[in-house]
Structure 1
Amino acid sequence: MTVELHEIQQEVEAVSRIYAKNCNVRRDDDWYFLKMQEETGELLQAWLRLTGRGRQKGDPEAQIRQQLEDELADCMAQVFLIAERFDIDVEKAIGRKWFKYLPERKHAGNADE
């Protein structure tokens, strides 16, 4: 099943609206970036736990690995939320910033520039 990035972005936004309503969170411009910082901190914490440099809390490795995956998902979701809030085409931005280095995309990636 293929899902377009924009569809994911819209679904993440819908979930975030539910979260904000249920938790009485005001999602102002700063919130998007502060929340991103919070999520990257949680991702780092999971990585430290998985690599034996953080408290294991008696959790099995598989559970810690799942935590790492979940925190990465939170970071990705927050990126989509920032993109939605500030009207950023993530696919276009990645193409412009990253894919220009791929030989088969050299000319296609620069078409919009």
Structure 2
Amino acid sequence: MRWLLQWGAQADWFADLAAEGKPTQAWLNRTEALPHLAWLMQAFFDLSASRSLVMGGEGPIPLSEILAYCQMFGVNDVDERGDFLRVIRAMDEAYLEERHRQREAAEETPQR
């Protein structure tokens, strides 16, 4: 998740360089979601649209939205919901930390 947030916009370019035999260090350090967990990444991106804006940027994904997602897609078992909540919250924390880092870096960059 962190790699995707930091480098995802350049992933195609990195892949092209790697195919030419010139992989970047960022490409070599990438992590990929296991195929059977891809649905969790999709769920995270679907749920990200429901976050509100708070002072200083984006807020966390509301618990109510996570629970609504579970109901909509049939995640009904209490243990499965708990696991789903923990995974989405961990992904959300990584996302918010990276966005905060990006905002701070932008503020430190001198304006022309």
Shared fold per TM-score greater than 0.5? no
TM-score, structure 1 as length reference: 0.37
Provide the TM-score with structure 2 as the length reference. 0.37
